[in-house]
Structure 1
Amino acid sequence: MARPEKEAAVAELAEKFRGSNAAVLTEYRGLSVAQLKRLRRALGEDATYSVSKNTLTKIAASRAGVDAFDADLKGPTAIAFITGDPVTAAKGLRDFAKDNPQLVIKAGLLDGRAMSAEEVTQLADLESREVLLAKAAGAMKATLTRGAVVVAAPLSKAVRTFEALRVQREEGAPAAPADQAEESADA
């Protein structure tokens, strides 16, 4: 490969490192072109899967300020660059690796922090960002609802007491002391 082509490949890889919020380094030895195509689909829309030479990847990573993969750049290497939800791509890699043991997850990078292969697999076990946000919103709504009930309870109790007093007066019964009216309203 001519020098300008290598320089362009390094620049492209460095830009992918800078533009992604996560990256996963894999070994793809033994996978067919059709299997790689299925893997690219399994990663989702917000991820790209690039096969590259180790020396070019190492140079591009260092230009992008990434040193997490230096020790793992051996053998046939491909990188999943993730710009969206890293959980979705990690699940795609994990599930594909279960069906195709030739795919080996070597290491990962999430928001500038190096991750081991085990940590990438643990990331795949998380729920997606949308599910976690929905759960957080539900928990906040439940807390607000409980707070509203606590604030409204004394007012509701007072209304029931006044209603019991009004009913007693309409029936012509003598007015009961406030404590008795409250007890009858709670019953």
Structure 2
Amino acid sequence: MALTFAQKERIVAEVAEVAQTAHSAVGAEYRGLTVEAMTKLRVEARKAGVYVRVVKNTLAKRALAGTDFACMDEALTGPLVLAFGQSDPGSVGRVAESFAKEHKEFQVRMIAVGGQLLDGSELSKLAKMPTYDEAISQLMAVMKAPVQKLASTLNEVPSKLARTLSAVRDAKEAA
């Protein structure tokens, strides 16, 4: 059954709204996947905070116009499922990578991050991006390291003096 104009408008508005708040997007070919496999993808994606939708390419082009994902326009050909990472940039990569390992028919064709279009082969790099909490903890570790080194260096001087005095005392007692 063909979509009515109102349904098409709703789809474009929904995808555009998601694209405005998304951090990254993946476009993958789903030809040959079963309904059960697509349902499994949607369930995994929902758990990870990823929006997944099969959209006609013409509607997707309209929805993505004026967003960071407008760079995907030229690559929107063939049957594609679009996935948008809502929580962090790497979430969509992790979901797509794990699903692609299980289902060979699922072929990632394009990735968009920060207004740049990347090839599907860059998926592992996107999947390895840290989550927000991991990035904050890494930043804190980097910020803490110089202070910790300074404290241990300052603490080393009195410790070294105490060890030297202890060695001198032991030498006098032995003599």
Fold match, TM over 0.5? yes
Q: Does 1:184 align with 2:168?
A: yes
Instruction: Give me the identity figure in percent.
Output: 29
1:50 paired residue among 35, 53, 59: 53
Q: Contact between 1:13 and 1:60, CA under 8 Å: does it hold in 2?
A: yes
Q: Which residue of structure 2 lines up, in the alignment, with residue 9 of structure 1? A: 11
1:19 CA drift (Å): 1.5
Query: 1:148, 1:185 → 2: CA distance?
Result: 28
What CA distance in whole angstroms lies between the structure 2 residues aligned with 1:50 and 1:60? Answer: 12
1:1-187 correspondence to structure 2 within 5 Å: 1-43=3-45, 44-64=47-67, 66-157=69-160, 184=168
Determine if contact 1:42/1:93 at 8 Å carries over to the other structure. Answer: no
> How far does residue 149 in structure 1 lie from its aligned partner after superposition?
1.8
Structure 2 gap ranges (5+)? none
Whether the 8 Å CA contact 2:31–2:105 is kept in 1: the answer is yes
**CA offsets, 1:96-154, max 9 Å, x none?**
11211111111111132222212223222445443444344345444433211211233
- TM-score normalised by L of structure 1: 0.75
Count the aligned residue pairs: 168
Closer/same/farther in 2, CA of residues 186 and 138 from structure 1, 3 Å limit: farther
Residue in structure 2 matched with residue 175 of structure 1 by the alignment: none
Contact kept, 8 Å, 1:15 with 1:64, in 2: the verdict is: no
Say if 1:136 and 1:185 are closer, same or farther in 2 by CA, change over 3 A: farther
- TM-score normalised according to structure 2 size: 0.80
Partner Cα distance (2:169, 2:117) in 1: 64
| 1:52-96 deviation line (CA, Å, top 9, x unaligned) | 101100111114363221222111111111111232331221121
SS at match of 1:4: helix
Mean Cα deviation higher: 64-73 or 24-33: 64-73
Gap change, CA 1:38 and 1:69, over 3 Å in 2: same
Counterpart amino acid of residue 146 in structure 1: K
- Return 5+ residue gaps in structure 1 as ranges: 165-181
| SS in structure 2 at match of 1:16 | helix
Of residues 10-19 and 121-130 in structure 1, the stretch that sits farther from structure 2 once superposed is 121-130
RMSD: 2.7
CA distance in 2, matches of 1:186, 1:114: 70
